[in-house]
Structure 1
Amino acid sequence: MATPPSLSPEQRAAALEKAKEARAARAEVKARLKMGSLSLADALGSDDTNIGKLKVVSLLESLPGVGKVKARKVMEDIGIADNRRVQGLGAQQRSALLSALG
């Protein structure tokens, strides 16, 4: 296994801060989905990198009325892998998700 690059303390602090901001942005997207201020169609159609880096299962579980079991069942029926991220979905997978849950 390759060793990670050695970073200076300043570079490490900057990387940690950037990761913290990305996690906060993804949490905010999931909260908006749960409240209903962001629809599944808008999320799937968005070109926001924070939405694109969310795992599909996490996005689906954030929807009202969709839990872990239903999210995984829908993904299995459509043929989406558990580790797939939103940015990696194809057009047919997006439309299948919208017809199943949208």
Structure 2
Amino acid sequence: MPDGPASDDVGAACEGVGEGSRGATARRALLAEVASGAVSVSEVFERNGQDRVGRTRVVQVLRAVPGYGPARVAALMAICGVEEKQRVGALNEQQRERLLRALIS
């Protein structure tokens, strides 16, 4: 393979693929912990400063909660004023509180 800018771009692209798959693996592990009850939604919200957690979509976290399917999650998010594609790290304090209160009741 020739040396130069093109080969550097390929190397950087390959490194980026590894980063993405590690992020997906970490997200899957987090969602599995939520589904098993090992981690609560409030604990996920507390970890929102962590890159992998903050970039996870709220809808994914809520769907991981046992008993919460697509329709129930959509209704919950609409009532709490959370956009469908919103990420955990982008939730404001009021949205977090509304979601947690709704999950408890």
> Do both proteins adopt the same fold according to a TM-score greater than 0.5, normalized to the shorter chain?
yes
1:42-81 alpha-carbon deviations (Å, 9 max, x no partner): 0111132211111111110011111111111000011111
User: Given the alignment of the two structures, is residue 78 of structure 1 paired with residue 70 of structure 2, yes or no?
Assistant: no
In the other structure, the counterpart of 2:3 is none
In structure 2, distance between residues paired with 1:29 and 1:48: 12
In the alignment, what sits opposite 2:32?
Answer: 31
In structure 1, C-alpha distance between the alignment counterparts of 2:50 and 2:33, rounded to whole Å: 14
Q: Does 1:22 align with 2:40?
A: no
Which has the larger helix fraction? Answer: 2
Q: In the alignment, what sits opposite 1:89?
A: 91
Aligned residues: 97
- Return the letter of the residue paired with 2:75: K
- Find the aligned partners of 2:22 and 2:101 in 1 and give their Cα distance: 32
SS of the counterpart of 1:8?
helix
Runs of 5+ consecutive residues of structure 1 not aligned to the other structure: 1-5
1:51 correspondence with 2:53: yes
Give, in angstroms, the shift of residue 96 of structure 1: 0.5
Q: Alignment identity in percent? A: 25
Structure 1 letter corresponding to 2:9: S
Structure-1-length-normalised TM-score: 0.90
Structure 2: 5+ residue runs without aligned partners?
A: 1-5
Kindly indicate whether residue 6 of structure 2 is the aligned counterpart of residue 10 of structure 1: no
What is the TM-score of this pair, normalised by structure 2?
0.87
CA distance in structure 1 between the aligned counterparts of 2:23 and 2:17, rounded to whole angstroms:
10
Root mean square deviation of aligned Cα: 1.3
